[in-house]
Amino acid sequence: MQEPMPDSLTQAGLGTLTAAVRRRLKHVVGARLTPHQLTIQQFWVMLVLLEQGPSSLHPLAQQVWMDDPTASRVVKAMVARGLLRTQPDPRHGRRILISLAPSALPLSRELQDLAVEIKADIVQGLSLDEQAAMRHGLLTMIANLDGMLARIPSSPHFSNSDG
């Protein structure tokens, strides 16, 4: 059920506020990525690979909250652009290992700095206690929604890989 649109966000329900935060965050990040000609999904892929190293497709998809087919398309486009490289995983004959192309390391580090800046700006004006309370509240809402989905017959059960 959709919440009626409030006259102002100060009167909005938590679902509407959560959606507004997500929408605005996507706009801010997207606008900051425009000079780099990257999508938000490509941004997250580069950050995860920079911070965690090479990965096969499924774990990478989980880390960036994508399903496997979407992650596959994103990776393919990034390989074509020269941002990523793929090679057989020496530990598993049927997997490919995805990593940053060496030429993409400077851009990846710049994106990492951008992510740090955005994360700091998002919580500006919130105390550590307020941040902890928000984190707890949002995690509780996610758990409540997961429980609601689990009670619906034939509904897909999402994990951190839904996008």
Domain range enclosing 96: 36-148
Residue 51 is assigned to a structural domain of this protein: yes
Residue 26 is assigned to a structural domain of this protein: no
Angle formed at CA 106 by CA 108 and CA 122, multiple of 5 degrees: 40
pLDDT tens profile 76-86 = 999 999 999 99
Residue 139 is assigned to a structural domain of this protein: yes
pLDDT tens profile 23-60 = 999 999 999 999 999 999 999 999 999 999 999 999 99
* CATH assignment of the domain containing 107: 1.10.10.10
Structural domains of the chain, count: 1
Residue 48 is assigned to a structural domain of this protein: yes
Contacts of 13 (CB under 8 A, 6+ apart): 3, 6
Residue 6 is assigned to a structural domain of this protein: no
Residue 15 is assigned to a structural domain of this protein: no
pLDDT at 161: 43
